[in-house]
Copies of this chain bind each other. A is one copy, B any other.
Amino acid sequence: MSTAPTVYDVAERSGVSIATVSRVYRNPDSVRAETRERVLTAARELGYVPSGNARGLASRSTGVLGLCFPDYGDPDAEATEAEDEDAATLYSDQIIRGMERAARRHGYALLIAASLKGGPESLVAKVAGRVDGFAVLARTVPTQELEVISRRQPVVMLAGPRENDQLDHLDHIEVANFDGQHELTRHLIEDHGLRRLAYIGSVEESPDVEARFRGHLAACRARGVDVGDEPDLRVALMTQAEGERAVDALLAGGGEPPEALVFANDQMAVGALHALQQRGLRVPEDMVVTGFDGIPLSRLVRPALTTVRQPMLRMGEEAVELLVKRLSGARDAEPVSLMLPVTVVRRGSCGCGEKQETEPGAR
């Protein structure tokens, strides 16, 4: 593999100038058909492929959009190609797919990178330097670094609430966590007449998870249902295993057991379903269970899980739309903030037989 051929080589071989070679690729119609063919032939013979870098440099644009997401779990932990895979199939994969799809529609490719740590040269910087604009999953990147970068190119922040500090000039997309949980809890209280609800959250300080809990709180309080300021239980990881453990913890103590277990995500809820089954408790007759996220698994378990579906795919698409909009003119427009509506999916685990969907008031 010698040195790759350049426009000069192609130009020389086809007897035209480099400008013409360039035109053939950028705007074929602006070159006479015959000339074009000569150039293309020469290029083929030489094995010429235009350098994206040189192009980007000269034209100040890359035709690539980016996505930075957190490094879920360490890459060396060879996950058992079965169990955990489903779990991870959530967030980032869906967003990636949504972005890829939308990007393609607009003629962009997608550059993805999970966070790495490094010297002055961090992940974002690397991505930022190679794309026209990018999306960041909340809390993936140091605020200050993002601030600097976002001064130079469009960035959209995904999930999480709008950052309080200096990032308020970024476009931003979040999901109606509060509304979703609020509606779900309301449903349990009003439609199913439940009063003793146990909420299982996470110790992790995720704004999204917190918003869900606040939705739960609000729904309870508005209806005089007894509820503390804190989740009844906070787990470390929000996994199925933790969900199973949660059941033990909540049913172990004396006193009257709850009528419903309201989980902050589907994974835990699924784990709970297992644990409950093993204890010989029926869902929903003996105990109602609900989740949050709407992962594929949620509708496959028995009973199917009542949950709140997050539109992650759509989030990815919207992110691209926002970026594309900025890139085509509206660079200095006011920052946009989208709140994507969620869907409450009522299924067997709360006692609703047929699947029903509700979309709580999204703004």
How far, in whole Å, are A94 and B64 apart by their CA atoms in the complex?
22
Distance of A150 from chain B, by nearest CB (Å): 9
Task: Give the chain B neighbours of A85 by CB distance below 8 A.
Answer: 94, 296, 313
Check: A81 CB closer than 8 A to any chain B CB. Answer: yes
- Chain A 54-73 interface residues, beta-carbon cutoff 8 Å to B: 54-57, 62-64, 71
B1 touches A152 (CB 8 A): yes
| Among listed A113-121, A174-182, A201-209, A250-258, interface-contacting one | A113-121
Q: Does A224 contact B (CB under 8 A)?
A: no
In the bound complex, residues from chain B placing their C-beta under 8 Å from that of A62 are 52-53, 130
Query: What's the minimum C-beta distance from A28 to chain B, rounded to whole angstroms?
Result: 5
B112 lies within 8 A of A47 (CB) = no
The stretch of A100-108, A188-196, A283-291 in contact with B is A100-108
Residue of B nearest to A63 (CB): B126
Which of A227-235, A236-244, A297-305 forms contacts with chain B?
A297-305
The answer to the question of A109 belonging to the interface, with a C-beta cut-off of 8 Å to chain B, is: yes
Once A71-B104, A120-B28 are accepted as A-B contacts, the answer to whether A52 and B96 lie under 8 Å apart by CB is no
Give the residue name and chain of the B residue nearest to A149 (CB): B49
**Separation of A126 and B65 alpha carbons in the complex (Å):** 13
Contact B151 A1 (CB under 8 A): yes
The reply to whether B1 and A332 form a contact with Cβ atoms under 8 Å apart is yes
Chain B: which residue is nearest A59 at the CB level? B53
Residues on the B chain within 8 Å of A121, using CB: 25, 50
B residues within 8 A CB of A131? 52
**Which residues of chain B are within 8 angstroms of A113 by Cβ–Cβ distance?**
100, 104, 109-110
- Residue of B with least CB distance to A115: B104
- The answer, yes or no, to whether A129 is at the interface (CB within 8 Å) is yes
**Interface hits, A37-95 → B, CB 8 Å:** 40, 44, 47-57, 62-64, 71, 75-76, 81-82, 85-86, 88-89, 93-94
Say if the beta carbon of A220 comes within 8 Å of chain B: no
In-complex Cβ contact of A47 among B40, B52, B152, B301 (8 A) = B152
Report whether A129 and B55 are in contact in the complex, using a CB–CB cutoff of 8 Å.
Answer: yes
Closest-CB distance, A124 to chain B (whole angstroms) = 9
> Could you tell me if B128 and A49 are in contact, using CB atoms closer than 8 angstroms?
yes
Contact present for A81 and B311 (CB under 8 Å): yes
List of 5 A-B pairs having minimum Cβ-Cβ separation, nearest first: A52-B130, A52-B129, A53-B56, A47-B151, A109-B113
Give 7 A-B contacts (CB < 8 Å), ordered by A residue.
A4-B153, A50-B129, A51-B57, A52-B130, A53-B54, A53-B129, A109-B130
Known: A49-B149, A85-B313. 4 other contacts (CB 8 A): A52-B56, A53-B56, A100-B113, A109-B111
